[in-house]
Amino acid sequence: MNLVVANRKTFRGWLEQPASQLIDHGTSCCIGARAWLHAMAASYAFRHTDGTAIAAPTFLSRRYKWGPTAWPIAWCEAVRANAIDCGVFSAFAREILSAQGVECYSAQVMQLFGPETTAHWRQRWADQPVAFNWIDKELVYHEVVIVVIGDVAEVFNPSDGQWLSPAAAAGYGAVVAIRSECPRSLAWGRHTLSMDKWILTVPGISW
Ligand SMILES: [Zn+2]
């Protein structure tokens, strides 16, 4: 498979983009927001899916709609939102998993989708003038969560409550590149993830 990036400036922006961080006011508003998130997580039954060792907070994608977030955003504002973007989903999932003693980190991926899908998303994000440009013609930038099990990474996508496969080399939603924030090297399928390094999971992306 040979992927061609339509917009080089967009792609360079992805390479340089750090993973999203929520603002913490350090006062009762954000402390309360986190406590509320934990209480909500506790009220949902966690299910093991796809034979994975970790039960992930799949309820997040049922509780929140996926949509534009105006950044920067604080914990106390984010928990009250109806729609949140993948950066907020990732922060929420890490907060919940960490509280349960699961070692997890933020991760960024590039995923392959068709031009019809990306055109639709571009339209949905059009009203968000300061939004980071996460959409190219066929590729999109997305934020997810790495769960560490020994030396192995499992990649959870809290925006839709699914685990991402390292083996899907092509096709709708396939991960074509990934960057991990875990300070150790991790195996993800046949790939080796190193901290802060974009790893291509397909033969080549040209830009
Ligand atoms: Zn706050």
CATH topology of domain 2-206: C8orf32 fold (3.10.620)
Q: Read off the pTM.
A: 0.93
φ and ψ of 162, to 5 deg: -115, 155
Cα(175)–Cα(167) distance, integer angstroms? 9
Which tens digit of pLDDT belongs to each residue from 25-52? 999 999 999 999 999 998 876 655 556 6
C-alpha 63 – ligand 1 centre gap (Å): 20
C-alpha 14 – ligand 1 centre gap (Å): 28
C-alpha 76 – ligand 1 centre gap (Å): 4
Average pLDDT, the chain: 91
Contacts of residue 120, Cβ cutoff 8 Å, sequence gap at least 6: none
From 73, 70, 76, 155, select the one nearest 109 (Cα to Cα).
155
C-alpha 33 – ligand 1 centre gap (Å): 7
What pLDDT shows up at residue 44? 78
C-alpha 174 – ligand 1 centre gap (Å): 36
Which tens digit of pLDDT belongs to each residue from 77-88? 999 999 999 999
What pLDDT shows up at residue 197? 96
Contacts of residue 15, Cβ cutoff 8 Å, sequence gap at least 6: 198
Residue written as token pair 């080796």: 192
pLDDT at 117 over 80: yes
C-alpha 98 – ligand 1 centre gap (Å): 20
C-alpha 78 – ligand 1 centre gap (Å): 9
Which tens digit of pLDDT belongs to each residue from 130-150? 668 999 999 999 999 999 999
C-alpha 73 – ligand 1 centre gap (Å): 9
C-alpha 77 – ligand 1 centre gap (Å): 7
Domain positions in the chain? 2-206
Cα(22)–Cα(137) distance, integer angstroms? 28
What pLDDT shows up at residue 4? 79
